[in-house]
Structure 1
Amino acid sequence: MVIFNYYLFKQSIITFIYFYIPERLNKMLQSILSNLAIILLFHLSMSMVMNHKKKIPTSLFQITMIIVGSVAVISMFYLPIRFNHYWVDMRMIPLIFIAYIHGWKKALPTLLIASVWRFFMGGAGMVPGILFGMIGPTLIALAFHHRSKFNKNYIEGIVIIIACWLFSDFPIIYIIPNGWEIFKSTAFIRGSSFVITATILYMFITQDRQRRTLNEELEKLATEDPLTNLFNKRKFYEVVHRKITTLQPKHFLAMLDIDHFKQINDTHGHLVGDKILVLLSNILIKYRNERVTIGRYGGEEFIIYIGNSTNDEAKEMIEEIIQEIRSASFPIGNSKTIQITVSIGLTEMNDHLSLLSNVNQADQNLYMAKRKGRDCLICR
């Protein structure tokens, strides 16, 4: 029954548009909806490109964004909206949003491509169309780019759209004969169509940004240790497994454990223990690079991967870490500090063993370092 009623409602809307709306207004609405469809397709394409940003080389990403914007603007040249004897389109809306959100690096190339295309199309409205319908609105939006954090600032967005629309209508008012009369007779429908279309796009972009931000936060929670911001164990294994197939010739794994950490927690409290874990991770992060990956293994244990290195280079780096931690002062509050030491087990990875087996070998070396008296490195 619900489906049947919806079908009747849909049919009644179509019937109303085709039989009760005047033909001139009907064609105008169809043109407006065509422009809206292009703009929403533009958003969909931009969103798809943004979703794959991490997988696309930076230069290709920039070029793709510029092409998508240029195609959207150029497409609307061929779908003008007729107001009496005056023809317009919504070309400025994609330009405004590209400028407002992405800045000049994407907006100006898009503007240049679309302007050149419009120039070669020619026609009486070519010059004012480029100056007032494209260049002006783009520059206005660029002036607000630094504020484009999209914290649901709808009012500012609407004000920018209205300002750009009024600027684009300058030729109507001051150049076309009887321009002020034409402007007054078309201002409501033109202004409302621009504002409604831009608001719809604004809402889509806002929701898309919020979704993307949420996905990034969820991905971060799934791959990072929330206390130290290092890789968690699962992400560490994933990254290292990928690296051992590309980096040559040797790979090393090190397991690091804070000496007497339980005693620190029992004496100073778990908040101090957490603070020490954070400060220690900050020291380790300084050694992170393309060849070195660091993760929190669990508790007070950390794991380090060193790729494309020699035995001496790997040992030298681990010894440097031990020495830096040994000489550091860790504040615990009330202007007090404590010293800590770490024990580390280092192993050269065996290509014939699994990653977990190599981790187990580094872990065995770590416990040998603890049995030896701690504050040292064991490498076998």
Structure 2
Amino acid sequence: MFQSILSNLAIILLGHLLMSTLITYRERFSKHLLYIYTVVLFSTVSITMLYLPISFGDYRLDLSLIPLIFLALFRGWKITVPVLFIVSAWHFFMGSDETLSSIVFVLILPTIFTLLLYERKIPTNINLKILFIITACWIISDLPIILFIPNGMEIFKNTFLLRYISFLSVASIYCAFILIGYKNDRLKQRLEFLASHDPLTNLLNRNKFIEIVEVKMKESDTNHYIALLDIDHFKQLNDTHGHLTGDSVLKEISSIFNKYESDNLKVARYGGEEFIIYLKTVYDKQAVRTLEHIQNEIRTTPFHSNNGGSLHVTVSIGLAKFESGSRLYDVIHQADNHLYSAKNENRDQLVVSFD
């Protein structure tokens, strides 16, 4: 019995290692190919476990349901259903006369039950939820003993503890590795975010912005623009209302930028109270109109000061256009010159480099 448990555990952890490797290098695969690899991997693990049952006298317990439970719990319907279909089909064509009841109770019903409890975000009480799901799925999978075997209830009473402990122990170890992997993946994503974003505003930082724009500049079927935006009288605002109010204004302006951000518009904090914007449009008027909308929304937004009052903030903007053969830093320099002109023209202005 223990040898079978260890064999099942080895197979399931090997599958987890391979899945972790796929997740680590997921950027190298297309979404479609990654989906296929995941389906094949989980199907293979579950089918292999069919051939490693745990024996209790004349009765056996296979643990092929466990990968399906966690796949359903953490990945949802889209990827679980094809894996369930493949494993069930294999079980049907390779099984015995009792295969149909095994497929229904051991595979289909527990998996559907788990899918009904699927959540996109991992809840805080995930450990209790997993314990409940594992126990419920084990009970469902053991129902054929009670329903279809003579003296089934007596057999269930004599073996249920060992069967449950075997099922729970393998599932718990697998669960621990999955949760550790999720925590590591979230930590990695957080570190990547911090490396590419400004910590105060959560906008892109300058280096990441330059990296993104240099890629987008290669698209030749549209026009590209760079704008530099500066908050007017920001030093005076800090001196009068305090740096906490200044930080609050930066955050609120960043939230306005987030409304406009898309594949055609990227914003980064350039330094201090200055922001840099990349725009991609077909017509010059579209770029100007978008910046005017942003400028007007900032102008009409009541910002909150640290003492509970409200502030009105304006911004100056310099806009430059990529011309044939332009280098990014040359366009940024040009936008900076126009920003300087806007601030010299009583601020709250938009100055462009084209008609």
Question: TM-score with structure 1 length normalisation?
Answer: 0.84
Partner of 1:192: 165
Bigger Rg over Cα: 1
238, 241, 250: which is aligned to 2:214? 241
Contact 2:320 2:352 in 1 (8 A): yes
Contact 1:345 1:364 in 2 (8 A): yes
Which of 135-144 and 183-192 deviates more?
A: 183-192
Give how far 1:344 is off.
1.2
What is the aligned-residue identity percentage? 44
Tell me whether 1:92 sits opposite 2:49 in the alignment. Answer: no
Tell me whether 1:278 sits opposite 2:261 in the alignment. Answer: no
Give how far 1:265 is off.
0.6
Measured in 1, the distance between the counterparts of 2:223 and 2:141 equals: 64
Partner of 2:232: 259
Tell me whether 1:226 sits opposite 2:199 in the alignment. Answer: yes
Measured in 1, the distance between the counterparts of 2:68 and 2:36 equals: 15
Give how far 1:379 is off.
2.1
Which of 67-76 and 331-340 deviates more?
A: 331-340
Pairing of 1:21-40 with structure 2 (within 5 A) = 28-40=1-13
Partner of 1:312: 285
Listed one character per residue, the Cα deviations across residues 256-287 of structure 1 (whole Å, up to 9, x for unaligned) are 11111100111111111111112222222222
Measured in 1, the distance between the counterparts of 2:114 and 2:94 equals: 25
Contact 2:61 2:163 in 1 (8 A): no
Partner of 1:290: 263
Question: Structure 1 pair 174/377, CA: closer, same or farther in 2 (3 Å)?
Answer: closer
Which of 232-241 and 222-231 deviates more?
A: 222-231
Measured in 2, the distance between the counterparts of 1:165 and 1:193 equals: 10
Give how far 1:196 is off.
1.1
Which of 37-46 and 236-245 deviates more?
A: 37-46
Partner of 2:109: 136
Partner of 1:300: 273
Contact 1:100 1:148 in 2 (8 A): no
Question: Structure 1 pair 273/49, CA: closer, same or farther in 2 (3 Å)?
Answer: same
| One-letter code aligned to 2:228 | M
| One-letter code aligned to 1:34 | S
Listed one character per residue, the Cα deviations across residues 196-243 of structure 1 (whole Å, up to 9, x for unaligned) are 111111100111111111111111111112222211111111111111
Give how far 1:109 is off.
2.6
Give how far 1:159 is off.
3.6
Question: Structure 1 pair 155/370, CA: closer, same or farther in 2 (3 Å)?
Answer: closer
Measured in 1, the distance between the counterparts of 2:120 and 2:333 equals: 51
Give how far 1:123 is off.
0.9
Which of 302-311 and 196-205 deviates more?
A: 302-311
Question: Structure 1 pair 334/58, CA: closer, same or farther in 2 (3 Å)?
Answer: same
Tell me whether 1:331 sits opposite 2:308 in the alignment. Answer: no
| One-letter code aligned to 1:108 | V
Which of 307-316 and 253-262 deviates more?
A: 307-316
Contact 2:5 2:170 in 1 (8 A): no
Give how far 1:155 is off.
4.2
Listed one character per residue, the Cα deviations across residues 86-130 of structure 1 (whole Å, up to 9, x for unaligned) are 233111101111122222333233222211221111312312210
Which runs of no fewer than 5 residues in structure 1 stay unpaired? 1-27
Instruction: Give every structure 1 segment of 4 or more consecutive aligned residues whose post-TM-superposition deviation is greater than 6 Å.
Output: none
342, 347, 352: which is aligned to 1:374? 347
Tell me whether 1:346 sits opposite 2:329 in the alignment. Answer: no
Provide the aligned C-alpha RMSD in A. Answer: 2.5
Corresponding residue SS for 2:305: strand
Question: Structure 1 pair 43/152, CA: closer, same or farther in 2 (3 Å)?
Answer: farther
Contact 1:150 1:206 in 2 (8 A): no
Which of 235-244 and 83-92 deviates more?
A: 83-92
Give how far 1:55 is off.
5.8
Contact 2:73 2:117 in 1 (8 A): yes
Measured in 1, the distance between the counterparts of 2:213 and 2:227 equals: 13
Which of 99-108 and 114-123 deviates more?
A: 99-108
Contact 1:95 1:111 in 2 (8 A): yes
Corresponding residue SS for 1:286: helix
Partner of 2:179: 206
Question: TM-score with structure 2 length normalisation?
Answer: 0.89
Give how far 1:340 is off.
2.0
Measured in 1, the distance between the counterparts of 2:302 and 2:124 equals: 41
Which of 258-267 and 175-184 deviates more?
A: 175-184
Corresponding residue SS for 2:278: strand
Measured in 2, the distance between the counterparts of 1:306 and 1:156 equals: 46
Corresponding residue SS for 2:260: coil
Listed one character per residue, the Cα deviations across residues 7-45 of structure 1 (whole Å, up to 9, x for unaligned) are xxxxxxxxxxxxxxxxxxxxx433322221221122223
Measured in 1, the distance between the counterparts of 2:287 and 2:152 equals: 77
| One-letter code aligned to 1:295 | A
Give how far 1:169 is off.
2.0
Contact 1:247 1:308 in 2 (8 A): no
Question: Structure 1 pair 261/81, CA: closer, same or farther in 2 (3 Å)?
Answer: same
85, 93, 105: which is aligned to 2:78? 105
Give how far 1:161 is off.
1.9
Give how far 1:185 is off.
4.8
Measured in 2, the distance between the counterparts of 1:288 and 1:146 equals: 28
Q: How many residues align?
A: 353
Corresponding residue SS for 1:373: coil
64, 68, 75: which is aligned to 2:48? 75
Partner of 2:145: 172
Contact 2:106 2:141 in 1 (8 A): yes
Give how far 1:81 is off.
3.1
